[in-house]
């Protein structure tokens, strides 16, 4: 009875094994799978060889070589302030007025000294004329006194005249001689006295000019059309001589000081030396403004050389101290190719399509080219006109990678 119980499960197991083997032997066979190479969809750009000018992007700050400061011409008080910081002003517009009572008395005092010396010079001229007339008369009297002495001495020899009378005539002659010499000295000293008075008059006139100029400058007037950069006083302030009242700069003639990188320094200096006019542009307030490289600094540093770019004309949105991005036009390069930024790999390479596969090409990056969008200019003898260049930046790009341009 126990053998029958064991045989039944064993028989079932054998039947199952035989059935599984039969099913496995009779299953359909699948064809082997052939691996397919992946094709990457990419954007491409056609290489167009041309003579193009790259640009050099510079960042600079707006300056004004004509920025000026107005200072107090003397000790005084501010009467009125008629301008505000940042205000646009016109030529001849009154900006600040100092109290004229601090300057007008000095003008009158200086004018009085001039008038006094004018009168002294006229008096000296009259005195000199009188001295000349008196000198002529005194010389005649001297001649008479000398003749008297000679006559009296002769009479004394003949015992017709006393010695006392002769001595008296000699004393009179000596007095006449002293008077003549004193008058001659006065006449000779005329030029020295006149020169001294004229020197004092010149000094007095100079003091008058300074006093009048201080009075004029106590009223600060805009010398040009421009803007108030900084206002440093208010009405009622007491200011010292030479103290700055305000600073302003003209709206025309603004410059941008920008650092020209050291690698490009020789190129720029060479072009300037040949008389080339270097142009630059900047986007300000939605407008494209033109600049010209006016001059370069006299000293350079390790970073490069400062260039001064003068604005062609004027612009209301441009202010001293503003930061400006300039695009400086460099010399044109032959066989240059404009590519998008996404086409550059590793800073000096691009990929060219050859028979549906990528090939790495080394290029010389010339610089940027403005536009919308901006692009890069490169050169390479391995790229011909019309070649297709990869424009999609693929992280896994490598030589031999199969790609298909997106139509």
- Domains and their CATH numbers in the chain: 42-52+334-405 (2.40.420.20), 56-64+253-329 (2.40.30.170), 68-98+218-250 (2.40.50.100), 104-215 (1.10.287.1700)
Q: What are phi and psi of 139, to 5 degrees?
A: -65, -35
- The CA-atom distances, in angstroms, between 243 and each of 71, 207, 400 are 5, 21, 75
Instruction: Compute how many other C-beta atoms are within 10 angstroms of the C-beta atom of residue 189.
Output: 12
Closest Cα partner for 394 from 338, 363, 354, 353? 353
Quickly tell me which residue has 């094994």 as its tokens: 17
Count of CA atoms in the C-beta half-sphere (13 A) of 161: 17
Q: What are phi and psi of 47, to 5 degrees?
A: -75, 125
Per-residue pLDDT at 6: 65
Closest Cα partner for 205 from 279, 113, 143? 113
- The CA-atom distances, in angstroms, between 371 and each of 169, 281, 332, 337 are 116, 12, 16, 14
Tokens of 148: 């008297």
Per-residue pLDDT at 387: 92
- The CA-atom distances, in angstroms, between 146 and each of 131, 151, 185 are 22, 9, 21
pTM of this structure: 0.62
Angle of helix 163-188 relative to helix 190-217, nearest 10 degrees?
Answer: 30
Per-residue pLDDT at 38: 83
Per-residue pLDDT at 376: 92
Full DSSP string of 63-120: E-TT-EEEE-SSSEEEEEE---TT-EE-TT-EEEEE-GGGTHHHHHHHHHHHHHHHHH
- The strands making up 94-98's β-sheet, listed across from edge to edge, are 219-221, 94-98, 76-81, 238-239
Angle at 304 between CA 274 and CA 318, to 5 degrees: 85
d(CA 389, CA 234): 66
Count of CA atoms in the C-beta half-sphere (13 A) of 62: 22
Per-position pLDDT tens, the chain of length 407: 456 666 667 777 777 777 777 776 776 666 565 667 788 889 999 999 999 888 888 999 999 988 999 999 999 999 999 999 989 999 999 999 999 999 999 999 999 999 999 999 998 888 888 878 887 887 887 777 777 777 766 766 766 666 776 677 778 778 878 888 888 787 888 888 889 989 999 999 999 999 999 999 999 999 999 999 999 999 999 999 999 999 999 988 889 999 999 988 998 999 998 888 899 988 887 788 889 998 999 898 899 999 999 988 777 778 888 899 999 988 888 999 999 999 999 889 999 999 889 999 999 998 888 777 888 999 999 999 999 999 988 888 899 999 989 86
d(CA 368, CA 336): 11
Closest Cα partner for 246 from 278, 215, 223? 223
Radius of gyration over every alpha carbon of the chain, rounded to an integer in angstroms = 52
- In terms of phi and psi (left: phi > 0; alpha: psi -120 to 50; beta: otherwise), the region of 400 is left
Per-residue pLDDT at 31: 59
Burial 157-168 (b: 16+ CB within 10 A, else e): eeeebeeeebee
Per-residue pLDDT at 317: 76
Per-residue pLDDT at 147: 76
For the chain, counts of helices (H) and of strands (E): 5, 24
Q: Are 102 and 218 in contact (CB under 8 A)?
A: yes
Closest Cα partner for 70 from 42, 55, 89? 89
């Amino acid at each position: 009875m126990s053998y029958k119980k064991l045989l039944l499960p064993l028989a079932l197991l054998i039947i199952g094994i035989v059935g599984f083997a039969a099913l496995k032997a009779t299953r359909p066979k699948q064809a082997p799978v052939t691996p397919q190479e992946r094709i990457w969809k990419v954007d491409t750009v056609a290489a167009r060889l041309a003579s193009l000018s790259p640009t050099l992007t510079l960042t600079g700050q707006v300056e004004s070589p004509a920025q000026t400061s107005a200072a107090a011409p003397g000790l005084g008080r501010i009467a009125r302030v008629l301008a505000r910081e940042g205000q646009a002003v016109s030529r001849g517009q009154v900006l600040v007025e100092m109290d004229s009572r601090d300057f007008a008395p000095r003008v009158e005092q200086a004018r009085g000294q001039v008038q006094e010396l004018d009168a002294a010079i006229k008096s000296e001229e009259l005195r000199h004329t009188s001295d000349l007339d008196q000198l002529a008369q005194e010389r005649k009297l001297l001649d008479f006194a000398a003749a008297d002495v000679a006559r009296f001495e002769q009479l004394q020899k003949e015992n017709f005249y006393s010695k006392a009378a002769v001595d008296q005539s000699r004393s009179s002659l000596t007095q006449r001689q002293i008077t003549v010499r004193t008058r001659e000295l006065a006449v000779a000293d005329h030029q020295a006295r006149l020169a001294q008075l004229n020197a004092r008059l010149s000094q007095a006139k100079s003091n008058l000019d300074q006093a009048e100029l201080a009075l004029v400058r106590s009223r600060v007037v805009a010398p040009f059309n421009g803007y108030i950069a900084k206002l440093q006083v208010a009405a009622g302030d007491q200011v010292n001589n030479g103290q700055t009242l305000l600073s302003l700069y003209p709206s025309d003639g603004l410059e941008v000081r920008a650092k020209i990188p050291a690698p490009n320094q020789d190129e720029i200096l060479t072009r300037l030396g040949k008389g080339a006019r270097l142009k630059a542009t900047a986007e300000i307030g939605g407008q494209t403004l033109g600049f010209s490289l006016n001059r370069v600094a006299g000293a350079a540093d390790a970073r490069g050389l400062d260039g001064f770019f003068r604005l062609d004309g004027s612009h209301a949105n441009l202010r001293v101290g503003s930061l400006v991005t300039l695009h400086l036009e460099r010399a044109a390069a032959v066989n240059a190719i404009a590519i998008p930024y996404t086409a550059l790999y590793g800073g000096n390479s691009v990929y060219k399509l050859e028979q549906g596969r990528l090939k790495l090409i080394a290029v010389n990056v010339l610089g940027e080219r403005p536009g919308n969008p901006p692009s890069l200019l490169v050169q390479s003898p391995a790229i011909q006109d019309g070649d297709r260049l990869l424009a999609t930046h693929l992280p896994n790009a490598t030589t031999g990678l199969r790609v298909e341009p997106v139509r």
